[in-house]
Amino acid sequence: MKPIQIRRRLEYKWVALIIINLATFAVSFDTGLVTLILPNIARDFRADINVVIWVPMAKFIMMAAFMPVFGKLSDIKGRKRYFNIGIIIFTVSSLLTGIASSIYEMPFYRALTGIGSAILIVNTRSLIVDIFPANERGKALGWHLLTVYLGHTLGPALGGIITVFLGWRFLFFMLIPISLATLIFSHMKLKESSRVHGPKMDWLGSLFLALALGLTLIAVTFGPQREWTPLDIVITNFWIPVVNIFVETFYYIAIPLVETLILGLIFLALFFITQLRVKEPILDLRLFIKNRQFASTNLAVFFVYVAHFSIYVVVAFYLGLVKLMDPFWTGIFLAVFPLVAAITSPFSGWFSDRYDRREVRILATGVIALALFLLSQLSAGSSIEFLLASLIILGVGVGLFSPANTTELLTSVSARERSLANGVLGMMRYAGQTLSYAVSALVIGLYLPTHIFIEGGPVFVEQYITGISQSLLLSAALAGVAMGIALVLKPKTIRRTANTTNKH
């Protein structure tokens, strides 16, 4: 009977991983395709790029703000339960995004997508750590992260093809059957994790963080480009899908960017004040001080994502404006970096199960910094082969980094805190992704004439290349900061764990 029980346990383990990875793929595919189709969305809605950029950013802001609180809620109420709730919200928001009738609806639906994605992702890795034994977690998380990067790979690759033949809306409709199938299998096959009792959720902290991120990023993204003049928005129509009301209107909104920045900083200060005063904050600053392993992994992932995530947009515009590459081949080319990361991730998981994960992180961040420095040397005459090689190196670095860093983080806390820890990790990751867009746009914008963003006009290649170069140099420096954090914050627990393992 024992061999049969072991086989059943192993079977459940891998079936559960497939179900979890289906949901992960849907979220990652959604992220990968949105950046590619932004020009199509802008053209169809005749929208300004200043508004369109909030289609991806709205999702990231909600994920950054609410992943920790949903992680804690899942620890208390049940991870499978909230995993399924996340699938339902993600499915509904995908449908709403696909049928949106105006550009001003899109950020609202993408924010709802961010909430569903936050609930999903915060539970995926915690469920994996619950299900798999300690000596297989790195391998399982490696396969999980392979799914993440496959989604990022197929998003732009398939997105370019499908958009040409069926339109960008069909991409969001594609996500619905995948999500529904995942929900059915999850309900039938997944087992609920043990629940723990805990205090009330810090919803106020999450609200302050969302407001701080949103307001500050509006100001930082557009302020320097517009010489801090008001950001003008005109709303001509709006559709309310639940009650099927279509409103024809004319609203003119002028957002004062200086005041917006000040207000964002005020909400950021309020966020940190609440985190120090509440008993169970979403971002426990005391845990960062007491647990060096927790602090090191979270800070490292923040700087790594600030450093590299905007590469999708930077390379897309470089290929389109400088190399005059068409959207189909741009999508294929953009798939190289996440594809290499996907291939590297399982090997990294296997590698991190056998060696000091901190040393793997140091190596990975060094490779990322090298790749970004190479990319900063791009010029109008750079060969496609040079760009391809640099993106491959970047993919290797990111693929090495993620499994080792995630495993190290989730093993630095107790089992009952894993969803919360994964929520904090997600908050740092998605805050980094959002800030990466803002920092890149800010630096590149400083090298372009201000009238370009207000009145339109030609962009000189030399100016744009200089902006790209300086942006990527800053990115390389930020990856160096992540490497320095791994070097300086050396948790003693890793070495003791390794020694204990060797004794056995």
Q: Are 367 and 393 in contact (CB under 8 A)?
A: yes
Scanning 231-334, the segments in alpha helix (DSSP H) are 257-277, 285-290, 292-308, 311-317, 327-334
Q: In the prediction, which pLDDT does 16 show?
A: 85
Where are any strands of DSSP class E within 86-211?
A: none
Q: In the prediction, which pLDDT does 180 show?
A: 92
Tokens of 327: 């959207």
Tokens of 424: 């904090």
Q: Are 438 and 217 in contact (CB under 8 A)?
A: yes
Q: Which of 218, 222, 215 is nearest to 445 (CA)?
A: 222
Q: Are 28 and 152 in contact (CB under 8 A)?
A: yes
Q: Are 314 and 376 in contact (CB under 8 A)?
A: no
Q: Which of 305, 475, 280 is nearest to 406 (CA)?
A: 305
CA torsion sign, 298 to 302 to 304 to 305? positive
Which DSSP category does 237 fall into? E
The whole-angstrom distance between residue 217's C-alpha and the CA centroid of its chain comes to 16
In three-state secondary structure terms, 282 is coil
CA torsion sign, 67 to 71 to 73 to 74? positive
Q: Which of 78, 172, 162 is nearest to 119 (CA)?
A: 78
Helix (H) or strand (E) holding 490: none
Q: Which of 153, 56, 191 is nearest to 113 (CA)?
A: 56
Q: Which residues, 6+ apart, have CB-to-CB distance to 406 below 8 Å?
A: 125, 141, 145, 297, 425
Q: In the prediction, which pLDDT does 49 show?
A: 58
As a whole number of angstroms, the distance between CA 314 and CA 98 comes to 26
**What does the chain come to in residues?**
504
Tokens of 220: 């930082």
Tokens of 473: 């140099």
In three-state secondary structure terms, 247 is strand
Q: Which of 340, 341, 400, 343 is nearest to 367 (CA)?
A: 400
Q: Are 215 and 267 in contact (CB under 8 A)?
A: yes
Q: In the prediction, which pLDDT does 112 show?
A: 92
Q: In the prediction, which pLDDT does 498 show?
A: 39
How do the domains of the chain map onto residue ranges? 2-503
Task: Please give the average pLDDT of every successive group of 10 residues along the chain, which has 504 residues.
Answer: 48 82 89 76 70 78 78 76 90 89 83 90 80 76 79 78 81 90 87 62 78 81 69 61 56 76 90 81 75 85 90 77 75 82 75 72 91 90 89 90 80 70 76 81 66 47 81 92 83 44 38
Q: In the prediction, which pLDDT does 497 show?
A: 39
Q: How many CA atoms lie within 13 A of 23 on its CB side?
A: 36
CATH number of 2-503: 1.20.1250.20
CA torsion sign, 331 to 467 to 65 to 215? negative
Residue with the two structure tokens 């559960």: 16
Tokens of 295: 């602090």
Residue 325 phi, psi (nearest 5)? -85, 140
Tokens of 383: 């060969």
